A and B are shown apart, each in its own frame.
Chain A
């Protein structure tokens, strides 16, 4: 399994990835889109956000999102507007 940009986040990432990969094959591809790994993702993401800040990638990402937001608006989910 691949590493995280923050070495201290790799454990959390791998726990999340394991959960996600199982969900993807066993649920998502079979039509069940209810998320299952959100708590693991929250912990992993919190760790990554710190690493991104340290490496000053957070500002680069913020700039990129201005130009090309996430989630992308191209899909039909632009009903918030």
Chain B
């Protein structure tokens, strides 16, 4: 098993980041994310926490050698459960792949929280555990190394992509605020 961890600070307030997170895809940096579907969603009545179950369809570019080993195309289905607590300003997302887990499983956990000392910023923590499955046990370390590298690349690309999403989100929010202001004043 390989463990991966990455920490990052976004220069935007948590409320904006958490809203933009729902609109993260599509973005040109993450073309491997093919579809995102909400399966279930509810607000817990006693806590006010929003919980959402999503299915993410991923089409990853994988070296042909690995596709040959697996004898399969490479569409992955990932189940994600997120919790958003607007009071503590915390968003967590846990995800795991549903398919191909006999080859490999990737359990990822992401958290966005308000920055403890700078409330206008958001702290991002991403952790993942990557394990080769039974069918690749003989090549476990090779496959885990490759996957950890790919995960790191995707994490970097994902961060870049999300930064652009955030920038666009801010522009749109300002434009709509300006429209509302001019509508109110006319």
A-to-B contact residues, CB < 8 Å = 1-5, 9, 13, 16-17, 20-21, 24-25, 28-29, 31, 33, 35, 41, 44-45, 48, 52, 57, 60-61, 64, 68, 70-72, 75-77, 79
Contact = CB atoms under 8 A, between A and B. Distances in A.
B contact face: mostly helix, strand, loop, or mixed: strand
Interface string B16-36: 001100110110000001111
Given A31-B86, A57-B77, A68-B81, A2 B33 contact: yes
B141 interface: no
Interface stretch (B4-12, B42-50, B115-123, B154-162): B42-50
A10 B25 CA distance: 13
A4 B37 contact: yes
Nearest to B53: A70
Contacts of B81: 68, 70, 72
A68 to B, nearest CB: 7
Measured as residues with beta carbon below 8 angstroms from the partner, the interface class of chain B is 35 or more
Contacts of B15: 25, 29
A29 B91 CA distance: 12
A38 to B, nearest CB: 10
A47 to B, nearest CB: 10
Contacts of A16: 38
Contacts of B48: 33
